[in-house]
Amino acid sequence: MSHGEIRERLDDYVDGCLTPERQAVIEAHLADCEDCRREVDFLRPLLAEARTLPPSLEPPTDLWGSIQQRIGRRRVRDHTLWSVRYQLAAAAMALLLLGSLLTVLLLRPEPVKVIATAPAVAAVPGFPAGWRETEDSYRRAAADLEEALAGAKPRLAPATVAVLERNLRIIDDAIAEARAALAADPANREVLEMLADMYAKKVDVLQQVTKLSAVL
């Protein structure tokens, strides 16, 4: 193998997923090539560290703390950022709650008839028990974020606003299709999951855009 080919395989070498023959070829090359030895020295601790990471992805570490605090202090005076933060926090809490609600909903063996008062969305006969409350929670979270985003729109370029609105319509159309499919087959838990995923996507996108628009 050439130096370049070996270089391409160093990550696999460090990962220990090469055949013994290729492993031997690379070890022979490493004995003579200081450049590749340095690359291996860099990759080893990286891999070891990455292996200790939690099994699920967490939101990014905020490297922006003090600048955000400064922005925050400035904007608290005109109540803008506080509103955004409140709405983001409220939406995040709503999402946590929704996760739990959905789990309970999906694990429930038999649908139970629930009489709800003043539903925010039209009740569909046959929908799983508890789904209406879950859907209302999603919609409230999305509405909070849409309100925050409306406040941020003057800071965004018209073309960006148009792009965001088009994509939110795409999500709304997907929600409507999944909802119609669930209405036709209320016992289908896979459709229910996909509908919940679409609602979660909408909240996630709104969170992302609201957060981004408040950054600068």
Partner 1 sequence: MAHHGLRLALLVTLAPAVVAAQQPIAEARSADPGGTVKISVPSGTVRVTGWDRDSVELGGTIGGGQRLEFGIQGRETRIRIVPVPDAREGGASALRVRVPRGSHVAIRTSSADVNVDDLQGAVDVASVSGSIRVSGNARTIYAESAAGSVDIEAYTKVVRAKSVDGAVTVRRAAGFVEVSTVSGTATVMGRNLWEGQVTTVSGDIRFEGGFDSPGSFRFETHSGAIALVLPSSVRADVDIVAFGGRVESDFGPAGARAFSTGPDGTRLTIKSFKGDIRIRRQR
Pick one of 12, 133, 136, 146: the residue that binds partner 1 (CB under 8 A): 12
Contact pick of 24, 38, 41, 42 for partner 1 (by CB under 8 A): 42
Q: Which tokens is 20 given?
A: 């013994």
Q: Say how many residues make up the chain.
A: 216
Answer yes or no whether residue 78 interacts with partner 1 by CB under 8 A.
no
Q: Which of 4, 21, 34, 60 touches partner 1 by CB under 8 A?
A: 60
Q: Does 212 bind partner 1 (CB under 8 A)?
A: yes
Interface residue with partner 1 among 102, 145, 191, 203 (CB under 8 A) is 191
> Site for partner 1 (CB under 8 A): which residue of 23, 156, 183, 186?
156
Residue linked to tokens 């909903």: 105
CB of 146 to partner 1, least distance (A): 14
Residues 111-150 that bind partner 1 (CB under 8 A): none
CA distance 203 to 135: 12
Q: Which positions lie near partner 1, rule CB under 8 A?
A: 11-12, 15, 17, 42-43, 46-47, 49-50, 53, 55-57, 60-61, 63-64, 66-67, 70, 73, 156-157, 159-160, 163-164, 166-167, 170-171, 174, 177-178, 181, 190-191, 194, 197-198, 201, 204-205, 208-209, 211-213, 215-216
